[in-house]
Structure 1
Amino acid sequence: MYTHNLPFLKLFMLLSLSGFAMHISNPDPIVPASLQSLNLNGHFQFQNLTDFSQDFGNRFSYQPSSVMFPASISDISATIKHVYELGAQSGLTVAARGHGHSLQGQAQAPGGIVIRMESLRGTETRLHAGESPYVDVSGGELWINVLKETLKHGLAPKSWTDYLHLTVGGTLSNAGVSGQAFRHGPQISNVHELVIVTGTGDTVKCSAKENSDLFYGALGGLGQFGIITRARIALEPAPKMVKWIRVLYSDFTTFTEDQEMLISMEKTFDYIEGFVIINRTGLVNNWRSSFKPQDPVLASQFNSEGRKLFCLEMTKNYNPEDAETIELEVMELLSRLRYVSSTLFQSEVTYMEFLDRVHVSEVKLRSQGLWEVPHPWLNLLIPRSKIHEFAKEVFGKILTDTRNGPILLYPVNRSMWDNRTSVVIPEEEVFYLVAFLSSAPSPSSSLAKNENLEIALKKNKEILEFCHSANIGMKQYLPHHSTQEEWRAHFGDKWETFCRRKQAYDPLAMLAPGQRIFHKAPLPLL
C-alpha cells in the first residue's frame, strides 16, 4: 500500500534523531477555500472557529483555518488525501479533535484543519453478544454513550477512564487508564480492531493479525500515524450495582503496601485507586454526605487538617441477588487492610452512577463557573522502587496542600500493558500512576496574571526537575515535551520505531501537529 523513498527515509531519520526537525518553521498554509472543491457528505466551516482553538487545559490557543464536520469516514479520507496531494509546500496540517479534553493544545492545528470527530457520534454502532462479546463504535463516540448502549444488552467494556465524556479515538490514542487497569490493563489492551485513516488518506482496517504494525502504532500513538475512525472494543457481562468504599491511611508505606497486595490478589476488588490529601480541612465530614461511615461518632472526631492522609478507594461489583455473598467477600478483604479503623466509608450505587461519577462534579463546577478554567495537569508513571523517594520529596515539601485539585496515586501491573503499542511505561512490573489534577481559577478578574496558574506550573516544574535530578525513572502519561531531544528521551528504545512508523503512515508529518513531536516541512532535496 505504501511506497518508500529510502534516501528520504534515511534523511528523515537523521533529521529526527538530531532534533533538527523540531525547529523547521512551517510554510504559510494554503487558502482554505481550495477545500470547497471536495465532494463530501459533511461540510467545512471557515468562520467562528474560536471554540476549536481551545481545549480543557485552557492554556494554549491556536486558531485553525477551517473545521471539517465529517458525515462519514470517507469524508475524513478525502480531506486528508487532498491535503497530502497538495504536498509539503502547502504547510497545511490536520488534527482530529474529540471532546476537546486535551491539556496543552494537542488536538489543535495552527492554521490547519481540525476534524470534529464527534460529528460521527451515533453512526453504525454494532454490538456482537456472542461468546466473546464486542462492540464496533465510531472513533468520535463518547464512552458514556458506548456504556449506555452496551448496558441495554447487559454488557460493558472492561477498562475505563475516570471521566466518560471523552471520545473513543481520543483515549485510545493515549492509553485510557483508571482503577480497573491493574486487572484488565488500559483501554488500549482491550481493543480487537481499528479502522484508521492514515496521513496519505488511505483507510486501513487493522488488528493484531492484519496490518499489525499500524494497529499497535496507533494505540497510544498520540495521533501521529492516523486518525482512529472506528474501534472494536471487548466487552464483558455488566454488573447492576457497585459497593463503593473509601478508607484512610496516615502512613504512606502501609497505604502503598496494601494497594500492592490488593492488585496482586486473584480475588480482590474490581476497581482500586488512591489519592493523597495534604492539609485539607473538613474532608472527612464532606464525605459523609455520600458515604456512610461504619462508626459515625469516631469518624466525626477524625480531623484531617494539617495532616498528610492517603485515601484508598475500592469497589466491588455485584448483582442484587448476590448481595449477601459480596458483603462477606468485601468484609474479608477489608480485614486484611491496615487503614485507620474509624475511617471506613461505604456507599452503594448503580454501575452507571459509579462509572459516570466525575460528570456529577463537572455539572456542579460548571454551575459555579469553575470548569472552564486552566487545568495545568501533570500525569506521571513512577516505578515502584522509587515511589517512596518520590513521595517523601513531593508530598509536603514541594506541595503543601491539595486545595486546588486531587492527587491520584495507585499501582498498576506492567504485565497488563502490551509493549508492542506506542505507549512508554516504566520497566518495573509494578508502577504507579500519579496524577496532579490542578485547577487554576483566576483569583480576581482585575489581575493581569493568573497567580494560581503560575504557582501550579512552578510546582509542576519542581516535580519534574526533582524526578530528573533524582533519577526517578518516571515517564509522563499524556506527555508534553518542548524539544525533540525530550521526545526521544521519552520514547527511549521505541523512538526509532516511532520515527519509522511516522514515515510509513504520515510521510509529510501533517497529522496531530499539536503534539509538537514532528513538524511538517518542505521535502529535502536529494
Structure 2
Amino acid sequence: MGIFLLLFIIISCFTRISANPSALSFYDKKVLRNDSDSIKKASNDYGNIVHEIPSAVLFPSSVKEISGLIRSSNERSPPFTVAARGRGHSVRGQAMARGGVVVDMTALSKTRRRITVSRKGTYADVGAEQLWIDVLRATLKRGLAPVSWTDYLYLSVGGTLSNAGISGQSFQRGPQINNVLELDVITGKGEFMTCSRERKPELFFAVLGGLGQFGIITRARIILQKAPTRVKWVRLIYSDFSIFSRDQEHLISSNSPNYVEGFLITDENITNDWRSSFSSPSRQSDIAALLKKQGILYSIELVKYYDNRTASTIDKDFETLLKELNYNPEFIFSADTSLFDFLHRVGDLDSPTAPLDSHPWLNLFIPKSRISDFNAGVLATLLPKLNESSPILIFYPLNRNKWDDRMSAVIPEEDVFYTLGVLHSSPPNAYQIYDEFNSQILGFCKRAGIKVKQYLPNYKSQGEWIQHFGSKWPTFRQRKATFDPKFILSPGQRIFNSA
C-alpha cells in the first residue's frame, strides 16, 4: 500500500470518529494519536497476517481515560469499536479495531509499575498491562511466585487472562484464569467494576477467557505461593506414540511432577536446536539417526521443583518417578537450574532484531477418547506431507477438573484432553501453505467427528462461533447483551462484529 493511500485512509477514518469533536475533546494529541507510526503498530500483530487500520490509538495515562473513551463510544450513533492491545501477540488480528480505536495498554506502565504484593504474600495486585516476566521478577524478590504460567513470559496479564493461559503447570494448578481472586474491569458500557467469585460473579466469570468481549481488564489479583528455589528438569525420548501418550497421562494423574509438556520431533533441524543445555552434539546426531529411522519422535519434558529443605531427596524422588515411565533409556537429558531460568527458558521473542515472519499458528484442544484417531489421521499422516520446514509442535494432556466451567473459556467435555500447538513460522508472503495445512487438520477432525476446540480461536462467521461455544453460547450471548450491548469491544475476534 502506497504511503499516500495509507495516509488518506488514516485521515478519513479519524475524521469519522471525531465527527462530533466534543465526544473526545478531553484527549490531547499525546493520548489519542493517529500518526502513521502509531497506526502502523496497531494494524499489525505477532501473526503478521491480518492488518486492520484503526482510526486512532489511545495511549492512556490512567484507567479513567479508557473508561471515558468507551463512554464516548456509547454516546455515538453508531458507536465506534474499541480493542485493548497488550503486547500484540495475537496471531489473527484479535486485538485490532478496523476504523475504531485501539487502546495501547502498555502506556499505563509508563506512569508507574503496577505490581503490589500483599503484606501476607498470598496474592499480588497487578496491572493488566504488566508482562508476566515483570510479575515474576517482582514476586521473586519476596520469595514468592504465581502458580500457573504460559511458556512465554513476555505477554500481558490482561491478554492471557482474556484467553486462559496454559502451560505445563496447568494439569496440576489449572490455567491462569483459575488462579485469579479479583479483577478490575471496564465494561462495554464504560462502567468501572471490581468483581470476584463473590462480588459481581457474572462479570468475573464472563471476562476470564472471554476474549475481550465483555470488558477490558485493568487489574488482576493473582494467587501467589512460596517460590521454589531450584528446578530439576528432564527430557525423555519416545519412538512410540501410544507409550508416549500413556506416560503423559500417567504423569498428570499424579501430584509428583510440577510441570509436564510433550513435543513432537519431526526433522533434524529441530534436533539441532533441541536445547543444547540438555545434550551434546554427538547425542543430537544419535537422535537425528533415530529420527531418520522412525520418521517421528516424541519427547516429554518433566520438572520437579525443590528448595534447600528438599535438595537432599530430589534425585531419589526423580529416580522413583522415572522408574514408572517407559521412555527410551538411551536418551535422557537433564538439567538443574533456578526457577527463573526455567520459566524464562523461551527468552524474549520480541527483540528488535527478531525477523518479521508470519506465524499462522493453530492451537487445539483434543478429547482424550479420540487421541489415537487424531494421531493416525494427523500426526502420522498429515505431518510427513508437510514438505516445508517443520513447525514447533507442542502436545500434552490437561485435566478438566482444574478448569472452572463457569468461565467463558471452552474445552472438550472429557475428564482429560490434549492441547496441540502447531507453531508455524514463515516469510510474510508464504504463510498460505501453512494455512492450508491447518485447514487439512481441521477438515480431518470434522470428517472423523473429532470434537476439537480451538484455543486462541479464529473463526470467520458467527455460525462457527456458535458451534465453538456449544452449550455455552446462550450464556455468552446474554453476557454480551448485559455488559457490551452495543458490540463495542474486541471487534477483531469477529464474534459479534464483521471486522
For residues 333-376 of structure 1, what are the alpha-carbon distances to aligned partners after superposition, in whole Å with 9 as ceiling and x for unaligned?
0111101111100112211111111115665xx64x53x21100
The answer to whether the Cα contact below 8 Å between 1:32 and 1:65 also exists between their aligned partners in 2 is no
Q: Distance in 2 between matches of 1:492 and 1:213?
A: 19
Q: Which of residues 35, 39, 45 is equivalent to 1:55?
A: 45
Q: Tell me what 1:218 maps to.
A: 207
What TM-score do the two structures reach when normalised by structure 1? 0.86
Q: Tell me what 1:133 maps to.
A: 122
SS in 1 for 2:347: helix
Q: Which of residues 182, 189, 193 is equivalent to 2:182?
A: 193
Gapped runs of 5+ residues in structure 2? Answer: 1-12
Deviation at 1:281, TM superposition (A): 1.6
Q: Tell me what 1:343 maps to.
A: 331
SS in 2 for 1:273: strand
Q: Distance in 1 between matches of 2:135 and 2:152?
A: 13
Deviation at 1:156, TM superposition (A): 0.5
Deviation at 1:297, TM superposition (A): 11
Q: Distance in 1 between matches of 2:332 and 2:260?
A: 15
The answer to whether the Cα contact below 8 Å between 1:390 and 1:467 also exists between their aligned partners in 2 is yes
Q: Which of residues 363, 385, 397 is equivalent to 1:379?
A: 363
Q: Distance in 2 between matches of 1:300 and 1:434?
A: 23
Q: Tell me what 1:425 maps to.
A: 411
The answer to whether the Cα contact below 8 Å between 2:154 and 2:348 also exists between their aligned partners in 1 is no
SS in 2 for 1:324: coil
Q: Tell me what 2:136 maps to.
A: 147
Gapped runs of 5+ residues in structure 1? Answer: 1-25, 443-449, 522-526
Query: Relative to structure 2, which stretch is displaced further, 113-122 or 470-479?
Result: 113-122
Q: Distance in 2 between matches of 1:519 and 1:181?
A: 32
The answer to whether the Cα contact below 8 Å between 1:32 and 1:66 also exists between their aligned partners in 2 is no
Q: Tell me what 1:412 maps to.
A: 398
Q: Tell me what 1:98 maps to.
A: 86
Counterpart AA for 2:334: Q
Q: Tell me what 2:423 maps to.
A: 437
Q: Tell me what 1:313 maps to.
A: 301
Q: Distance in 2 between matches of 1:301 and 1:471?
A: 35
Q: Distance in 2 between matches of 1:336 and 1:148?
A: 35
Assess, with a 3 A threshold, how the Cα gap between structure 1 residues 220 and 282 changes in structure 2: closer, same or farther: closer
Q: Tell me what 1:304 maps to.
A: 291
Assess, with a 3 A threshold, how the Cα gap between structure 1 residues 421 and 41 changes in structure 2: closer, same or farther: farther
Q: Which of residues 454, 457, 467 is equivalent to 1:476?
A: 454
Higher relative contact order, structure no. (Cα contacts within 8 Å, ≥ 6 residues apart):
1
Q: Distance in 1 between matches of 2:215 and 2:327?
A: 47
The answer to whether the Cα contact below 8 Å between 2:271 and 2:288 also exists between their aligned partners in 1 is no
Assess, with a 3 A threshold, how the Cα gap between structure 1 residues 310 and 43 changes in structure 2: closer, same or farther: same
Q: Distance in 2 between matches of 1:98 and 1:180?
A: 23
Say whether 1:112 aligns with 2:100: yes
Deviation at 1:29, TM superposition (A): 4.1
Deviation at 1:123, TM superposition (A): 3.8
Q: Which of residues 42, 56, 59 is equivalent to 1:69?
A: 59
Identity %: 44
Assess, with a 3 A threshold, how the Cα gap between structure 1 residues 286 and 74 changes in structure 2: closer, same or farther: closer
Aligned runs of 1:222-261 on 2, under 5 Å?
222-261=211-250
Q: Tell me what 1:78 maps to.
A: 68
Deviation at 1:43, TM superposition (A): 1.2
For residues 96-124 of structure 1, what are the alpha-carbon distances to aligned partners after superposition, in whole Å with 9 as ceiling and x for unaligned?
00000001000000011000111122444
Q: Distance in 2 between matches of 1:407 and 1:458?
A: 17
Assess, with a 3 A threshold, how the Cα gap between structure 1 residues 439 and 76 changes in structure 2: closer, same or farther: same
Q: Which of residues 466, 475, 481 is equivalent to 2:444?
A: 466
Say what the alpha-carbon RMSD is for the aligned residues: 2.4
Aligned length: 478
Counterpart AA for 1:233: I
The answer to whether the Cα contact below 8 Å between 1:41 and 1:71 also exists between their aligned partners in 2 is no
Q: Distance in 2 between matches of 1:299 and 1:436?
A: 25
Deviation at 1:317, TM superposition (A): 1.1
The answer to whether the Cα contact below 8 Å between 1:41 and 1:72 also exists between their aligned partners in 2 is no
Q: Distance in 1 between matches of 2:310 and 2:99?
A: 57
Q: Distance in 2 between matches of 1:301 and 1:477?
A: 31
Deviation at 1:303, TM superposition (A): 3.1
Counterpart AA for 1:30: I
Deviation at 1:36, TM superposition (A): 4.4
Q: Tell me what 2:261 maps to.
A: 273
Assess, with a 3 A threshold, how the Cα gap between structure 1 residues 222 and 286 changes in structure 2: closer, same or farther: closer
